[in-house]
Amino acid sequence: AVPILTVAALIGNLSRAGFSWRETDWPAVGIYVLGAVPAASAGAFIFVTLDAALIHRILGAFILLMIPARRWAARHALRIQRWHLQPVGVVMGLLSGVVGTAGPVNAPFFLAYGLVKGAYLATEALGAAAVHVTKAGVYGRFAALDANTLLHGLIIGFALIGGSWLGKRIVIRLDTEGFVRTVEALLAVAGITMVLGL
């Protein structure tokens, strides 16, 4: 399932980035990818040798804890600086390689960096796409990504393009606070489903 998710997420992330291309924070993408890509390779290698169900549940709990932590940091005017995205990328790349995707875990960090709406969508999506390309290469090398898996991932990925387009239309109508609340609600749902193993 993780290699299928990797292919689907790659297409979905590229479409999200494409719909918000002009708002991309390119230096943030570069710093994030610098840490995330090598770590994703290591995480994908771990995936082919390890059962990741427990790690998935731990990530869900982490996501749930990050919601109040991000709010606390915002109240105290604490922001992530661009250079912080490199160590964040290392951790997220490794986790993504092991459990399939770390998108929900990324969100609080990109929000704390100050990205919202299209800038958030495009910047986070391009960083994630670089991670998914790396993982797909490792999975292919270790025969975890065959033609059938690739086909299933492509089908799901192309279905995600419509969701990316619709998401962009919704996001441009939200004010900044509404956007942050929406992301936090989605994070809560993602965290709960991961903790419960759904």
Per-residue pLDDT of the chain (198 residues; tens, 9 = 90+): 677 878 888 888 899 899 889 999 999 999 999 999 999 999 888 877 776 677 778 778 877 887 888 788 778 877 889 999 999 999 889 888 877 777 777 888 898 899 988 899 899 999 999 998 898 888 777 766 778 888 888 888 888 788 888 888 888 888 888 888 888 888 888 889 888 887
Tell me the Ramachandran region of residue 137: left when phi exceeds 0, alpha when psi lies from -120 to 50, beta otherwise.
alpha
Q: Look up residue 77 and give its two tokens.
A: 């005017």
Q: Are 42 and 97 in contact (CB under 8 A)?
A: yes
Residue in the block written with tokens 């609600």: 185
Burial 53-90 (b: 16+ CB within 10 A, else e): eebbeebbebbbebbeebeebeeeeeebeeeebeebbb
Torsion angle of C-alpha atoms 163, 52, 88, 93, degrees rounded to 10: -70
For the entire predicted model, the pTM comes to 0.73
Cα 67 to the chain's mean position, in Å?
16
Q: Are 22 and 78 in contact (CB under 8 A)?
A: no
Q: Where are the alpha helices (DSSP H) in the chain?
A: 2-19, 26-47, 53-75, 85-99, 103-113, 117-141, 147-171, 176-196
The amino acid at residue 100 is G
Nearest to 126 by CA among 20, 53, 2: 20
